Amino acid sequence: MSLKNAISQIRVSSVLNRDVKQFGKKHLFDGDDDTCWNSDQGLPQWINLAFEEPQTLSGFCVSLQFQGGFCGKDCILEAYNGTCLVENIPFYPNDINSLQNFEISFTENQSVSSLKLIFQKSTDFFGRIIVYKLDLIKL
């Protein structure tokens, strides 16, 4: 079951040239293959997803499709219950255009109110990240 309908707020670290119409956060979940979120330069970049109501999760799958050459590297997923960090899990995308799935398992069931995907490094020299698709699937 996708968790994208349970998301009430999306925040991102930056948008290329502040052009939210062409590269904004709304394109992360729009399902259009021709649109994307494109960060500005600099590191780290991040995507913060807040749920309308806390979700009880034992884990989930993060599906990401990057633009090759603009992929996140050495990534961390942080799960929060309110302001308390409850999980901090690393994941390592490949520098490819294909959809990539990362299964995230928690040590125990967690009540999660928000998730933060942190891209500590980028395959782009300037630290830009381009994401065409993002989904969260409850396990």
How do residues 106-120 score in pLDDT, each as one tens digit?
989 999 999 999 999
| Per-residue pLDDT at 97 exceeds 90 | yes
Mean pLDDT along residues 11-29: 98
Beta bridge partners of 137: 2, 61
Burial class (CB in 10 A: 0-12, 13-18, 19+), 117: buried
Average pLDDT over residues 31-50: 97
Q: What local confidence, expressed as pLDDT, does residue 128 receive?
A: 98
**From 2.30.38.10, 3.40.50.970, 1.10.10.350, 2.60.120.260, which CATH number describes the 4-138 domain?**
2.60.120.260
Show Cβ contacts of residue 57 under 8 Å, excluding neighbours closer than 6 positions. Answer: 79, 106, 109, 110, 112, 138, 139
Report how far residue 79's alpha carbon sits from residue 26's, in angstroms, rounded to the nearest whole number: 21
Residue 45 has pLDDT above 90, yes or no: yes
- Cα–Cα distance, 26 to 7 (Å, whole number): 12
Q: For residues 38 and 27, give the distance between their C-alpha atoms in angstroms, rounded to a whole number.
A: 9
Compute how many other C-beta atoms are within 10 angstroms of the C-beta atom of residue 32.
Answer: 10
Residues 117, 28: contact at Cβ < 8 Å? no
Q: What is the model's pLDDT at position 139?
A: 87
For residue 114, the number of C-alpha atoms closer than 13 Å in the C-beta half-sphere is 17
Q: CA angle, corner 98, sides to 96 and 101, nearest 5? A: 105
What is the rounded average pLDDT of the residues 65-80? 97
